[in-house]
Amino acid sequence: MSRRRPTRSTPATSADDLLTTLGRLTAQARRGAELQHARVELAEALQREMLPAVLPALPGLRTAARYAPARTGLDIGGDWYDGFTLPDGTLALCVGDVQGHDVEAAAIMGQVRIGLRAVAATATDPGEVLSRANDLLLSVGSSLFATCSFLRFDPATWELQSARAGHVASVWATADGRSGVAEDAGGLPLGIQPGEAYPVTRRRLTEAGVFVLLTDGVVEGPSFPIEEGLAMVAGVLAQGLRAGSDPGELAAEVMKVAELTGHSDDAAVLVLCHDAGPPDG
């Protein structure tokens, strides 16, 4: 039996099929990349529109914040900061991080932020604010959860009340050169368990200094663990106070720590610079 020789058209036909397939796959990849790019741009636009343009301040208390998007553009959407004056004249400040990224996380972030503002107007302390916000997030049926630190500053007593829901610890420094990490007790992230309680820590700000809220993208990444990142921030704050830096300069210096972590997440920093309040008693 003689072997059948391939015709001249066979290789040409195969090459045409291959080119057609490659063209189709390239078009699909392009559409996928364009869709992902559009989702990232939407998430970033949503997030930036939801972050406050101006933070409140009071005599003796100055604030500033910084936000940095994810380096890769894929982890945008979860972090936020906020500050607003409450009906009784106290000042509320918070920082948080929604689990997950992209458009859904940005949308949930907006809901949590607005929910915190709503419940803070009638809640008695930061612990109650977080507890009610937790139940509110559970009621909307989202599969995502959020971590958060919430502060309330009373200008009449110069007391700072704080509570946190599964969030990274805050960092502080005083004008006399001391600094540290505020490892206060906390509760579970928002949106996990109904009826969760959040203990409140109270501080009298009797010495001039700074108190900083941040997200884990600032202090944790492949380059070093979160404990090392927090210690670096404490050192940055102490050095900044010695140099007489204002809140905006301190926030910018803290954000530089995020650039060293090797992280791919977004990052947020909120700085409270305070004068010395009245002595205890």
pLDDT tens-digit profile, the chain (281 residues): 455 554 544 454 565 665 566 566 666 656 554 554 555 555 555 556 667 888 998 999 999 999 887 755 445 557 899 999 999 999 999 999 988 766 677 778 888 999 999 999 999 899 999 999 999 999 988 888 999 999 999 999 999 999 999 999 999 999 999 999 998 999 999 999 999 999 999 999 999 999 999 999 899 888 888 999 999 999 999 999 999 999 999 999 999 998 888 766 788 999 999 999 887 65
Stated pTM of the model: 0.81
Long-range residue pairs from 4-8, CB within 8 A, at least 24 positions apart, any chain:
none
Neighbouring C-beta atoms of residue 245, cutoff 10 Å: 19
Rounded-to-integer distance, Cα 112 and Cα 109, Å: 5
Q: Give the pLDDT score at 10.
A: 47
Pairing of β 91-98 and β 159-165: unpaired
Q: Give the pLDDT score at 37.
A: 52
| DSSP alpha helix (H) spans, the chain | 9-50, 102-120, 126-139, 216-219, 226-242, 247-260
Q: What are φ and ψ of residue 254, in 5° steps?
A: -65, -40
Q: Give the pLDDT score at 9.
A: 47
Of 216, 236, 242, nearest in space to 98 by CA:
216
Helix, strand, or coil (residue 171): strand
